[in-house]
């Protein structure tokens, strides 16, 4: 039956594989909410509302022993009341090992068909997932829809396509002939990609599906069973994905325990117990550096680890055609979702000599900083854009850090303007603060300040800006680097130097192109080459470390 699913989705698969090679724009799932029918928004909201203050009963996994749930809406500032069936670590592992025996023997084509069918089911619930994401992460509704729905599904499809490509790279069998004069040696050889076992995927609180489904679908397409351990504060969006996968597995006579949801609570976390279990052969992790470093320490010959942690993303401003357009673009980049994005810029390097512009004038350092300040404040206070762009703060720790920005040191250039969301009066909203320091004050800016805080660093010149940005990328990691420069020679130097520490550069982005955005099938999200993470969505290495090629030989 699942082979028929492969044929059903073969045309989409071929397009996705082709997009991986071409790296041009491709999106199988439209990002506009209206693309899913006029009734979908209302139906999605009704489905979400029906889940509130109830047990999530869609999961088909076995051996559960209780219910857990502690998610809180950053907009309502209160619990959403959803609970999920929980299971012990031993049960999760036993279920996974049993399911792996069946799933690992399922053909590549059948696995691909089942996984792509699950995405079709998920796509019918994008609006429900959007509500779930909004009220667990604090993203705006539109951002929640796009990031947790079509963009996440495209990332999952990307992992399936890359998996299919790598798993079918070599022939299944071949007749091997070696000429030896009057005789020939003939062997029949078979080649099989052998999966490793159980994969553990540890999710984060801010992007519970976008950051989780690449590892989840990469594990599954390569024949591994998967256990998803979401952040206790952001479970519902990924639970819907898992429910849809389990439904397709069961409908095709396969064990739903091939993928399991592993919920825990803040008072009794189970990620370490799962990660250290010898049966867990693969670990995907998204989150903070401290726990990410611990996860990376578990890497061994028998345990492959894929991390996306955090970095200190720089913005190097040397020169610009239109400095106002530059600052407007950067203001949006730092304000979107209150800077709670691993791709958001934090450190703004501006030379004391000012910013040359296209009209032959040089904007002074002071005026450049004032322009940035005004654009950030104007966006936050915009009656139609402000609250929607900022969203809400997911974690109270992030809110406390932002509120304490004045104590970090340096000069407070902009105290966060007060913003109110009229639709959600209790929302945890915090606009962006700007702190100014000299280049010598490394203790202020040589740390990640996740959330709505940015640092302007006054440097001697652009070369000092570049050297500092490069040093910190090498030492602390960076996922993105914004560069504004109109000098061709200087631009080449900046790109080469930042690339040498495995940091991608976004050059002269203005208008609707933002450094935060990474597109499936085109952008490699995280390079895996600096401390911000050791893996990338989605290159061949992201797939190939999840299985082993084994060859067998028989005399012909």
> How far is the CA of 365 from the CAs of 442, 462, 484, in angstroms?
19, 12, 15
- Looking at the chain, the whole-number percentage of residues with pLDDT higher than 90 is 98
User: CA–CA separation, 182 vs 194, rounded Å?
Assistant: 38
In whole angstroms, give the CA distance from residue 172 to residue 174. Answer: 7
DSSP codes joined into one string, 248-304 = HHHHTT--GGGEEE---BTTB--HHHHHH-TTEEEEEEES-HHHHHHHHHT-BTTBE
| CA distance linking residue 209 with residue 537, whole number of Å | 13
Pick the residue with more confidence: 2 or 457?
457
As to burial, measured by CB atoms within 10 angstroms (0-12 exposed, 13-18 middle, 19+ buried), residue 548 is exposed
On the question of pLDDT at 333 being above 90, the answer is yes
Given a contact cutoff of 8 angstroms between Cβ atoms, the answer to whether 536 and 524 are in contact is yes
pLDDT of residue 287: 96
Which residue spans within 66-124 are E strands per DSSP? 66-68, 72-73, 78-79, 84-86
Res. 187: pLDDT tops 90: yes
CA-CA distance, 555 to 259, in Å (whole number)?
Answer: 40
286: confidence class by pLDDT, cuts 50, 70, 90:
very high
- The pLDDT assigned to 193 comes to 98
Q: Residues 113-127: pLDDT tens digits?
A: 999 999 999 999 999
* Residue 204 near residue 278 (C-beta atoms within 8 A): no
Radius of gyration of the chain (CA): 25
CATH superfamily for 2-309+535-555 is Aldehyde Dehydrogenase; Chain A, domain 1 (3.40.605.10)
Angle between helices 150-167 and 141-148 (to 10 degrees): 10
Fold adopted by 314-507: Aldehyde Dehydrogenase; Chain A, domain 2 (3.40.309)
How far apart are alpha carbons 43 and 146 in whole angstroms?
Answer: 17
Domain-by-domain residue ranges, the chain? 2-309+535-555, 314-507
56, pLDDT greater than 60 = yes
Using CA atoms, how far apart are residues 191 and 547, in angstroms rounded to an integer?
Answer: 12
What average pLDDT does the segment 499-523 reach?
Answer: 97
Query: Which pLDDT belongs to residue 359?
Result: 86
How does the average pLDDT of the chain come out, rounded? 97
Q: Taking residues 178-191, report their average pLDDT.
A: 94
Calpha distance 16→357 (Å, rounded)? 41
Helix (H) and strand (E) counts in the chain = 19, 21
The predicted structure's pLDDT at residue 22: 97
What DSSP string runs through 129-165?
HHHHHHHHH---HHHHHHHHTHHHHHHHHHHHHHHHH
pLDDT of residue 356: 97
Nearest to 222 by CA among 199, 253, 191, 247: 199
3-state SS, one letter per residue, for 413-476: EECCCCCCCCCCCCCCCCCCEEEEEECCCHHHHCCCCCCCEEEEEEECCHHHHHHHHHHHHHHH
Structure-token pair, residue 126 = 């994008």
- pLDDT for 389 beyond 60: yes
Contacts of 453 (CB under 8 A, 6+ apart): 339, 346, 401, 402, 405, 408, 432, 433, 435
- Model confidence pLDDT, tens digit, residues 451-477: 999 999 999 999 999 999 999 999 999
Q: 109-168 pLDDT, tens per residue?
A: 999 999 999 999 999 999 999 999 999 999 999 999 999 999 999 999 999 999 999 999
pLDDT band of residue 3 (cuts 50, 70, 90) is: low
Beta bridge partners of 446: none
CA distance 294 to 136: 26
Report the pLDDT averaged over residues 331-347: 97
* Rounded average pLDDT over 370-393: 97
């Amino acid at each position: 039956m699942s082979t028929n699913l492969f044929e059903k989705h073969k045309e989409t698969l071929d397009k996705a594989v082709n997009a991986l090679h071409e790296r041009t724009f491709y999106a199988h799932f439209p990002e506009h909410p209206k693309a899913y029918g006029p009734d979908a928004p209302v139906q999605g909201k009704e489905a979400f509302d029906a889940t509130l203050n109830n047990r999530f009963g869609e999961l088909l996994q076995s051996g559960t022993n209780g219910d857990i749930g502690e998610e809180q809406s950053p907009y309502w500032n209160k619990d959403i009341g959803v609970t999920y069936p929980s299971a012990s670590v031993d049960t999760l592992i036993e279920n996974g090992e049993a399911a792996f025996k069946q799933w690992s023997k399922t053909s590549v084509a059948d696995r691909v068909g089942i996984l792509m069918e699950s995405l079709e089911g998920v796509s019918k619930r994008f609006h429900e997932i959007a509500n779930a994401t909004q009220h667990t992460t604090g993203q705006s509704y539109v951002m929640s829809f796009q990031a947790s729905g079509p963009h996440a599904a495209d990332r999952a499809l990307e992992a399936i396509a890359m998996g299919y490509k790598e798993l079918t790279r070599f022939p299944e069998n071949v007749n091997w002939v070696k000429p030896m004069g009057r005789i020939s040696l003939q062997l029949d050889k078979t080649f099989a990609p052998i999966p490793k076992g159980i994969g553990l995927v540890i999710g984060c609180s801010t992007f519970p599906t976008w950051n989780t489904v690449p590892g989840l679908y990469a594990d599954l397409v390569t024949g591994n069973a998967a256990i998803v351990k979401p952040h206790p504060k952001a479970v519902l969006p990924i639970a819907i994905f898992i429910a849809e996968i389990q439904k397709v597995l069961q409908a095709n006579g396969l064990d739903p325990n091939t993928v399991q949801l592993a919920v825990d609570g803040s008072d009794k976390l189970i990620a370490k117990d799962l990660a250290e279990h010898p049966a867990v052969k693969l670990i995907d992790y998204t989150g903070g550096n401290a726990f990410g470093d611990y996860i990376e320490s578990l890497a061994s010959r028998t345990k492959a680890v894929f991390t996306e942690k955090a970095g200190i993303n720089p913005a190097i401003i040397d020169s610009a055609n239109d400095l106002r357009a530059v600052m407007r673009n950067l203001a949006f980049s730092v304000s979107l979702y209150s800077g709670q994005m691993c791709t958001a810029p934090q450190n703004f390097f501006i030379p004391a000599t000012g910013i040359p512009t296209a009209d032959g004038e040089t904007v002074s350092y002071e005026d450049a900083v004032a322009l940035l300040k005004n654009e950030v404040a104007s966006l936050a206070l915009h009656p139609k854009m402000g609250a929607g762009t900022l969203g809400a703060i997911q974690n109270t720790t992030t809110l406390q850090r932002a509120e304490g920005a004045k104590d970090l040191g340096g000069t407070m250039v902009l105290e966060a303007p007060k913003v109110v969301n009229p639709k959600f009066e209790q929302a945890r909203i915090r606009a962006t603060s700007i702190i100014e320091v000299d280049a010598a004050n490394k203790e202020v800016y040589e740390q990640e300040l996740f959330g709505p805080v940015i640092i302007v660093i006054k440097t001697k010149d652009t070369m000092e800006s570049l050297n500092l940005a490069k040093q910190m990328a090498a030492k602390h990691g960076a996922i993105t680097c914004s560069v504004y420069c109109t000098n061709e020679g200087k631009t080449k130097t900046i790109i080469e130097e930042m690339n040498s520490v495995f940091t991608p550069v976004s050059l002269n982005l203005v208008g609707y192109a933002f450094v935060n955005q990474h597109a499936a099938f085109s952008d490699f999200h995280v390079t895996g080459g600096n401390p911000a993470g050791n893996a990338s969505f989605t290159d061949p290495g992201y797939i190939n470390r999840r299985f082993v090629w084994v060859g067998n030989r028989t005399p012909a």
